[in-house]
Structure 1
């Protein structure tokens, strides 16, 4: 009797274990099928938006470089016709001593040291005059240029360069080079560092300075080409 009861308990336990246990192979197949179903579901593509407002603001906020010296000179040339008649006549007639020196050397085919020195001396006086013009322009109370260290100090530099040029009285070449430097420095001051002159004056001033510069260079070049002959022989 006890043996029969014991067999019944074993049979019930075996049936309960058989129905309550899980099969690992079936679990794996179920998980795989669920993944396949999930992957088969298609989602609509997402649209990405790029904000370009900041880029546009950076482009618009980019400041333009300041105009260069030659750009300012190009705009001033438009007002050359507004120059007063006395300024035009006196300015261009003042080029005669500059142009006459290389013309005399080229026509005579002889380098004349007295003529070359006269050209250099005249150029030194013009350089000194340009410095004095800046000084006088800064003195009136209504002038846009104030009588400060910048304006008055820069107006003295051309006069010093002209004085140094006259110290080379024995040699025309270094004197002419110093006058050329004085013309360039004074023109640079008037156009870029202290651009307060009227537009017509800066245009006229640029043309006169360029012609004077080329005349001095032409004299120095002809000096190396033609033989030297003094007008006043000792």
Structure 2
């Protein structure tokens, strides 16, 4: 019995000494030393890995005869869009009711002045002499200038030294002051351009404003409910302005084609 105990203890010390050189054998956790009176036929190793995740054996591969999990199929575009809309609807519940109501009410002119709704609704007589695209672009410029106001107000309310966050070496207050006036300039510049070019500038400016708000929210510099509301309202504004832009381009396409044909004839 003593000879069996001695041989078993020497084997155990040998495996423990080789554990430093063979890290994959660490899942063989040695059991406590055998006490006198215990049969040497009892196993001195424990293969249970639940108590120590470090000693877990590596996942079996195909070379070792294991079975790999089949790759997950990517979701279809329809299911991905449905999931994103579900997440957005859940996040919109966090928006204060008054802010949500005022924001949705402010999106009504975008929808009402977009084709073909603008040609169906009985608009006021004041707008009868104005092209619907011009009225929509003017309203878009006003709303775009409003998007810089929250950043200017937050910069005034919070001391510059209270936030350690910075953008490319500039303090957050400096970035907010500069960006607070940028949408106004972009909207004014869009109104100086022809209809199609002005609408294109407005669509790009709304997307840029959303990207800036996204960057601010990612750094915790905006309320958590503000970005979901901005995403919804920006989507409505961009789709409304984009539909008007596409209609103008479609109407202007035959004239451009005729002008190019006429120019080609003159060159001959």
Check whether TM > 0.5: yes
Counterpart of 2:101 in structure 1 is 89
The answer to whether the 8 A contact 1:183-1:209 is kept is yes
| Equivalent residue, structure 1, for 2:143 | 126
Count of residue pairs brought into register by the alignment: 158
Q: Which moved more, 1:204-213 or 1:133-142?
A: 133-142
Deviations 1:59-90 (A, max 9, x none): xxxxxxxxxxxxxx997764311212211111
Confirm or deny that 1:116 pairs with 2:141.
no
1:113 to partner: Cα distance? 6.6
For 1:151, which of 168, 176, 179 is the aligned residue?
176
Partner SS state of residue 198, structure 1: coil
Partner of 2:232 in structure 1?
207
Equivalent position of 1:222 in the other structure: 247
CA 148–76 in structure 1, closer or farther in 2 if over 3 Å, else same: farther
The separation in 2 between residues aligned to 1:192 and 1:149, in whole angstroms, is 15
Q: Residue 205 of structure 2 aligns with which residue?
A: 182
Measure the CA separation in 2 of the matches of 1:191 and 1:78.
18
Q: Deviations over 1:6-32 (max 9, x none)?
A: xxxxxxxxxxxxxxxxxxxxxxxxxxx
Maintained 8 Å contact 1:131/1:156 = yes
Alpha-carbon distance change, 121 to 222 in structure 1, aligned in 2, over 3 angstroms: same
Partners of 1:80 and 1:201 within 8 A in 2? no
Report 1 or 2 for greater relative contact order, CA contacts < 8 Å, sequence distance ≥ 6: 1
Confirm or deny that 1:51 pairs with 2:23: yes
The equivalent position to 2:117 in structure 1, one of 104, 111, 136, is 104
Judged with a 3 Å threshold, the aligned counterparts in structure 2 of structure 1 residues 225 and 174 are, in CA distance, closer, same or farther, namely closer
* 1:74/1:156 CA distance change after superposition, 3 Å: farther
Q: Which runs of 5+ in 1 are unaligned?
A: 1-46, 57-72, 228-234
Unaligned runs of 5+ in 2: 1-17, 27-53, 55-84, 122-128, 166-170, 253-268
1:163 equivalent in alignment to 2:193: no
For the aligned residue pairs, the C-alpha RMSD in angstroms reads: 3.3
Shift of 1:193: 4.2
